[in-house]
Structure 1
Amino acid sequence: MLVKWIEKQMVHHSRFDDSPFIPQSAFPWSRGLEGNWRDVRAELDALLEHREALPNFQDISTDQRRITDDDQWKTYFFYGYGFRFDANCARCPRTAELLARVPGLKTAFFSILGPHKHVPPHRGPYKGVVRYHLALKIPSPENACGIRVGGQEAHWSEGTGMFFDDTYVHEAWNGTDEDRAVLFMDVVRPMAFPYSLVNNMVIQGIARSRFVQEAKGNQDAWERRFAQLLDRK
């Protein structure tokens, strides 16, 4: 399969070693996000006043039903595979401003795990993007919330970020009585030419796929309902 062959090339032609967690030095722009994390947290807090109205992950991306089927993984999308959701960005202008500065940004959303939510082991669909979590709301004790990637465990700390390769089997959990929230992002994996060009072509193809187009339609429909809800208040 072509995608599998391309992923094998990425092991040899990425700008960093193939490992579950990726050094932050590979993405220097992340320092700017972390330096302004409190601005992002403030906009998250305002949205959490409407927590119950936020969409469950599987309501946007039906493919996620294999790993979550309850109302304890809430989302708020800014970008999805390169598509920008303008109304959501307008409600969080500072976050949108910071995201606009991120090179190669493809997906970005607030990812909110409810109390005692566990996301079971699973694998991401494509190695051509790298996952980033900026920790925004991490209940105490911090070690009660965590993520395991390729057998390596890590814990979030408010105001700091972590990069990882989501094509390693990974799982996440919130073992507290409060919400855990991160700014969840996928960015294009830096690669040497011509593999970078091939990678961009694959990503563009995924963006045109049925499951991404369906998710975009679901998100657009939710945005309209949410706007109506806010107008009534």
Structure 2
Amino acid sequence: MSGVYPSNLHGYDVKTNKSRYHNARLRVQDAQKSKSDDVGTAKIESSPPTNKKLISILVVMTVVTWGLATTAYFGVVDYKAILNLGSRDTEPVVESKAETDQVVEADKPKVEAPKTSTKSDSGEKAAKDPGEVTKKKKPKTLSDEDKRILSEIKIGEKLLQQKKGEKAWKFFKDLTKTNPDCPKAKYLEGKAAEMTASQQRSNPMIGLAIEAFSTAVQMKNCPKELKKLSLTAKSENEGFLGRMKPALETQRTLARLYPKDVSILNKLGVRFLMLGKNSAAKKVYQEVLRLAPNDGFALVHMGFIVKQEGSWEEAIPLLKKGTDSNEPGTQEGKFYFHLGDALHRTNRTAEAKAVYEQGAERGLFRSKYQRSLYNVERLTGKPFWTPEEAGVKEYVRRLESNWKSIRDEALSVMDMEKGLFLLEEESLKDTGEWRQFTLFARGHRDENNCRRVPKTCSIIERMPNARGCRRGQVKFSVMMPGTHVWPHTGPTNCRLRMHLGLVIPRTGSGARLACAGEMRTWTEGKVLIFDDSFEHEVWQEAESFRLILIVDIWHPELTEQEKKTLTSI
């Protein structure tokens, strides 16, 4: 089963020494303001007017004294900022004669240095505050050719802001016809087509968006930042249409242009994973973690990969650190699912349960037991069902009345030397041997296998909720003595699972199933119905094999429309 991987958005909120220093400075100002207000009020009530120059000198001396005291506790203090001589927002404060008595607001952090040098009334340049943050220049996305039609581009951008997708698309399409050498206009044509596609649910419009982004990228005068935006949009839209290989190649182009951009590299890793290229994805995430060792998105994906390789111990700290980061893209059920599973498989059961409980508390699982990831939320969930509750009373009657014929057909093909029963492929087995013989999968009939067991397949054909269950399977399952299946959950809550007992040994400790902590066993000729989206575990401790028929059916609360439109799993 392939997973769905989201885009990554990285945001780091690191408090620097400067932010701590800024807060300390504000506390000094608050204390000074309070002290000055108290002293000033008393003097105003009892003293005659004082020379302004003398007051200014007294204020400076007092503030410097406070600054020295603060330095002893907090370290460096920006005296100019305390005296409000520097910039607070985007432009320097020019203290003219008319402004001498004004108080400059100082409760906002500085966001950029002065853009230009500004002269005061005396003709001197205002000094630049050495502690100010220099604002990074806005990346260039306009070519010289785009600048010539900037007013028209702004008209189109306004249409996009107003969510008038089709109108904006037609506007930019006409604009780029008469101005074919303007990459920004072409890029915006793509964005308008993208918006129109979303509003009209039109895949052809997405194709037009991809063409526009491609054209913008290929223009020789396309600024590098605009090329980045265009390639990113192109890759995302290719992926949306299921064009995974082109989406991968586009993302690789981006990675070559920006080899140290971890966001781009993280998305490249996802593209590889979606094509099943785990080894290539692993190399990408190794590079990300070399550049940014604490990147949560890379950590959870690296943890997922190494767990799939069977390195459970190595996966645990990666998944744990990644999920604990709470970074975008790390709070998904699949990562808690795999972390808990890795803990289970290394005998850290209590920690695994805690992870599942945490996932349920965060809304990533329906409960600590029901941990399926592809769900319809309104559906009733409980571990075991009766035929009446499941709406399959007639199905159960047919299976149970024909169980011996079904058993005999299964036994006739259970010759492992012919390789008809294949080993379980989902790495769910802890010990022993577990093999399966599939008749239907994702709503499709296996013609070759059904020719070997025609009676069984004929019975299933008369069960539309089993025959057409695109999120399930119909298969024989044989489990040899000494087999233990790890606690696991199915992928979806959209199905229920029927087990028809065919050969059920009673020797030794027998064979048994636990679902959500409730223990059951099988009976020959009888159907057991449970919801495999709940955690379940199997022990086969008898002295001979156990053989059952597994039949998945749609959940009874799904509508006919949902059965037709839900994606296959």
Secondary structure in 2 matching 1:162: strand
- Alignment partner of 1:206 is 2:530: no
Could you say which structure has the higher strand fraction?
A: 1
Q: TM-score, normalised by structure 2?
A: 0.32
Instruction: Report the AA paired with residue 9 of structure 1.
Output: R
- What corresponds to 1:46 in structure 2? 412
- Alignment partner of 1:125 is 2:480: no
Encode CA deviations 1:154-183: one digit per residue, 9 max, x unaligned.
110100011101111001121112110110
- Alignment partner of 1:27 is 2:392: yes
CA positional deviation for 1:201: 1.9
Instruction: Report the AA paired with residue 423 of structure 2.
Output: N
How far apart in 1 are the matches of 2:415 and 2:443? Answer: 28
Secondary structure in 2 matching 1:178: coil
Q: TM-score, normalised by structure 1?
A: 0.75
- Alignment partner of 1:68 is 2:422: no
Partner of residue 110 from structure 1, selected from 448, 467, 476: 476
Could you say which structure has the higher helix fraction?
A: 2
Q: Which structure has the higher relative contact order (CA within 8 Å, separation 6+)?
A: 1
Q: Specify every segment of 5 or more residues in structure 1 that has no aligned partner in the other structure, as ranges.
A: 12-17, 59-63, 208-233
CA positional deviation for 1:94: 0.8
Secondary structure in 2 matching 1:176: coil
Distance 1:190 1:171, change over 3 A: same
Encode CA deviations 1:36-89: one digit per residue, 9 max, x unaligned.
00000111111123466221011xxxxx12x12777111100001111100100
Encode CA deviations 1:130-174: one digit per residue, 9 max, x unaligned.
111000011124961110111111110100011101111001121
Distance 1:56 1:118, change over 3 A: same
- Alignment partner of 1:186 is 2:548: no
How far apart in 2 are the matches of 1:100 and 1:21? Answer: 25
CA positional deviation for 1:115: 1.0
How far apart in 2 are the matches of 1:50 and 1:42? Answer: 16
Distance 1:199 1:102, change over 3 A: closer
Distance 1:87 1:4, change over 3 A: closer
Distance 1:192 1:121, change over 3 A: closer
- What corresponds to 2:378 in structure 1? 9
Instruction: Report the AA paired with residue 511 of structure 2.
Output: C
Secondary structure in 2 matching 1:88: helix
How far apart in 2 are the matches of 1:72 and 1:47? Answer: 17
How far apart in 2 are the matches of 1:74 and 1:83? Answer: 20
Q: Is the 8 Å Cα contact of residues 56 and 71 (structure 1) preserved in structure 2?
A: no
Partner of residue 158 from structure 1, selected from 513, 517, 524: 524
Identity of aligned residues (%): 26
Instruction: Report the AA paired with residue 30 of structure 1.
Output: V
Partner of residue 135 from structure 1, selected from 492, 497, 501: 501
Distance 1:145 1:51, change over 3 A: farther
Distance 1:142 1:83, change over 3 A: farther
Q: Is the 8 Å Cα contact of residues 501 and 525 (structure 2) preserved in structure 1?
A: yes
